[in-house]
Chains A and B, each alone.
Chain A
Amino acid sequence: MQAEKSGADILIEALCDIGVDTIFGYPGGAVLPIYDALFNQSRIRHILVRQEGGAVHAAEGYARSTGKPGVVLVTSGPGATNAITGITDALMDSIPIVVITGQVATHLIGTDAFQEADTVGLTRHCTKHNYLVKDPAKLGGVIHEAFHIATSGRPGPVVIDIPKDVQVATAPYKKPGPIEHRAYRPQVRPETALIEAAVEMLAAAERPILYTGGGIINAGPGASQMLRELARLSCAPVTSTLMGLGAFPASSPQWLGMLGMHGTYEANMAMNKADLMVCLGARFDDRVTGRLDAFSPQSRKVHIDIDRSSINKNIRVDLPIVADVGRAIEDMVKLWKARQHPKSDLAEWWRRIEGWRARDSLAFPGGGKEIMPQAAVKALFAATRGRDPIVTTEVGQHQMWAAQHFGFEGPNKWLTSGGLGTMGYGLPAAIGAQIGNPRALVIDIAGEASIQMNIQEMATATQYRLPVKVFILNNQYMGMVRQWQELSYAGRYAESYSDSLPDFVALAEAYGWTGIRIEDPGDLEDGIARMLAAEGPVMVDCVVAKLANCFPMIPSGAAHTEMLLHDAEVSGEMDDEAKALV
């Protein structure tokens, strides 16, 4: 007879069997048995955040930067509801996390008990899957299955809701073998015939483009390697979504920069004029496509994605391939080599691309006495080049400027909230990334509005001596909102001014951080150097031009060819059709 363990001990045991060594969490009544079990062991490190939302973003940052699943532990009711934004964020960006929530005892479920919330009901549509475990004997199996589901196929968040009595009750636990789910079997291997067709199309194309996304990051570093190989063989230009930055080195001459709403002129024009587009682990988001009927109108389209529902959702494609994108690219590379396809002659195509590139669409006006936010990002990039930093962001103009002006050479270095666009993501994500990469330089490029959404996590960094750097591009506006109001509402800046800002330097010091203020363009380099030289966490309040706008920009509902390159082209008011688009 196997000795029985409490549900809480089963949880710890199962997490250890899975290889979990870090949990981001916050205690409360409905998880006390689990916290007690954590107290009595030393294999798992618990990172105490300051708000449950922070725990989930930290787990996302940990997952995105290490490739391992992030784990969260929170209490019932408000603990679970606070976690929901982060869970939704992880769903939208396909981040593998497992969130364990406490629940009131099984006999109290449905009675409006203290701190009861219908967590499985609330999270049903913002998780990849969720569980309410009412039987301790099933707990171990559910935990193993949850990690399998979170990390395989298209990754995503999984919630396990564990009532308090199930944490206390005992049952046997045995480590299960490999998980064979009855219904859930993601299709990982591509069909050979489809790979052959894709290779032939790519080899025959005169104006090909590789359009890559976050799926390549999720498929592991090997996938990024294979992408480089495919690009080398095919000579095709490469562009990427916001989520895919780093999969292809920004220093490569084949790199066109990001595409879409704030993408480069060359990326969007190449997409528009291509005769073949190969979409690799991206999902034709509206921020990428602009007006659908004008999106890459002349191209035949290949789409490789592990999630069948991403295919033909927004854009109809000619060759859909359901598979792990890393495997698929690897097969394409192998086949290309086996067939000894010659290097394509894309000279004419590249000549056109160089013409678009010569427009230098990321150029920005000088700021005179003010620091231009773009210049600040470029200076940050230049100062950290040799150090392979991990960069997180909040959401807004600063996020887009970081995406445009910070070059990434490898995957898992760029952590941003793409699908949900969650302000407040960057600081906790940086904390999670720093926990997962203790030696790395981790920088949150922030806005003064966003940073206030999870500012409480500064204490977490202090407690665990995490040397994260928060670099605030302080324009005293919710700049992205202000920019849209300028474009669509004739500059009626409703509620987008960041009033009553704290003194960020004093705030930093109050939390035991180093605070630095940079106001003068002449001090930019020195300020950044001081930030990098400081040992512990640093908050930089970089005061930048207030009214700078982020260009290029494709207004929502416009085609890639209708890109705005400068402020001067901005119209003051938009029609209702355009206003209705997000």
Chain B
Amino acid sequence: MHIKEELAERHTLSVLVDNEPGILARIAGMFTARGYNIESLTVTDVSEDQSVSRITIVTSASSHVMEQIIAQLDRLVPVHRVTDLTAFGPHVERELALVKVAGRGDDRIEALRLADVYRARVVDATTASFIFELTGSTDKIDSFVALMREVGLVEVARTGVVAIARGAEAA
């Protein structure tokens, strides 16, 4: 017997929650407990009195599992609101990456040239290395990191996706 897998689709969810101890474990744990996947998860408080946090989760699932994920999130006591930004429509998604590259000679010049093309900023430099700072979509960062691999990538730190709906209203 073999175990079958379902086709998955990538969605970005925005979840407003009470900023209480353990909230991250509650959300992340619910995903593992129910076998949902998390591609990235970010969390920080976003209200003036630090009482509400926004959690941005990128997950992939089939459409009926996605409906379940949203319902399961919504059912957690500290969750105020869940928005599926992918289903909602126009929204902005960004990620920030810090990319360390080491090398000399041609590799070093090529790294700088590519960074320029991607509008990455140099935030640290030695005679043998750079750290680039890059903001953009996940795809853009993926392809930049892939290029850097060829010219001396040392390590990468990424924030994961943050996202917000376009337009004047809160989603």
Contact = CB atoms under 8 A, between A and B. Distances in A.
Interface stretch (B19-27, B127-135, B143-151): B19-27
B71 A308 contact: yes
Contacts of A387: none
A205 to B, nearest CB: 26
A316 B64 CA distance: 9
A309 B74 contact: yes
Nearest to B71: A309
Interface in B1-44: 1, 17-18, 21-22, 25-26, 29-30, 33
A181 interface: yes
A312 B67 contact: yes
A184 B72 CA distance: 13
**Interface class of chain B by DSSP:** helix
B71 A311 contact: yes
Contacts of B136: none
B96 interface: no
Nearest to B21: A132
Contacts of A184: 77-78
B80 A183 contact: yes
Contact of B72 (A120, A121, A309): A309
A275 to B, nearest CB: 24
Contacts of A576: 1
B159 to A, nearest CB: 26
Interface stretch (A63-71, A122-130, A377-385): A122-130
A577 B25 CA distance: 34
A125 B33 contact: yes
Contacts of B30: 125
B1 A577 contact: yes
Nearest to B80: A183
A120 B75 contact: no
Nearest to A126: B33
A129 B77 contact: yes
Contacts of B68: 309, 312-313
A580 interface: yes
Given A125-B30, A311-B71, A181 B77 contact: yes
A124 B75 contact: no
Nearest to A120: B22
A573 B71 CA distance: 39
What is the interface residue range for chain A against chain B?
Answer: 20 to 34
A307 interface: yes
A149 interface: yes
A215 B1 CA distance: 37
Interface string A182-215: 1110000000000000000000000000000000
Given A121-B25, A124-B29, A316-B64, A183 B18 contact: yes
A568 B12 CA distance: 54
A12 to B, nearest CB: 25
Contacts of A124: 22, 25-26, 29
A184 B1 CA distance: 43
B30 to A, nearest CB: 7
A121 B22 CA distance: 8
Contacts of B78: 129, 183-184
Contacts of A307: 75
B61 interface: no
B79 interface: yes
Contacts of B75: 307-309
A351 B41 CA distance: 57
Interface in A306-351: 307-309, 311-313, 316
Nearest to B26: A124
Interface in A533-580: 576-577, 580
Nearest to A575: B1
A309 B25 CA distance: 20
A380 B75 CA distance: 42
Contacts of B72: 309
B77 A149 contact: yes
A129 B17 CA distance: 14
Contacts of A311: 71
Contacts of B33: 125
Q: Identify which of A183, A308, A312 gathers the most chain B CB atoms within 10 Å of its CB.
A: A183
Nearest to A125: B33
A141 to B, nearest CB: 13
A196 B124 CA distance: 66
Interface string B112-149: 00000000000000000000000000000000000000
Interface in B63-94: 64, 67-68, 71-72, 74-75, 77-80
Given A181-B77, A183-B77, A183-B79, A580 B1 contact: yes
A434 to B, nearest CB: 32
Contacts of B22: 120-121, 124, 132
B32 to A, nearest CB: 9
A284 to B, nearest CB: 13
28 contacts: A121-B25, A124-B22, A124-B25, A124-B29, A125-B29, A125-B30, A125-B33, A128-B77, A129-B77, A129-B78, A132-B22, A182-B80, A183-B17, A183-B77, A183-B80, A184-B78, A308-B75, A309-B68, A309-B71, A309-B75, A311-B71, A312-B64, A312-B67, A312-B68, A313-B71, A316-B64, A577-B1, A580-B1
Given A121-B22, A149-B77, 17 more contacts: A121-B25, A124-B22, A124-B29, A125-B29, A125-B33, A129-B77, A129-B78, A132-B21, A183-B18, A183-B77, A307-B75, A308-B71, A308-B75, A309-B71, A309-B75, A312-B68, A313-B71
Q: Which 3 A-B pairs have the closest CB atoms?
A: A309-B71, A576-B1, A129-B77
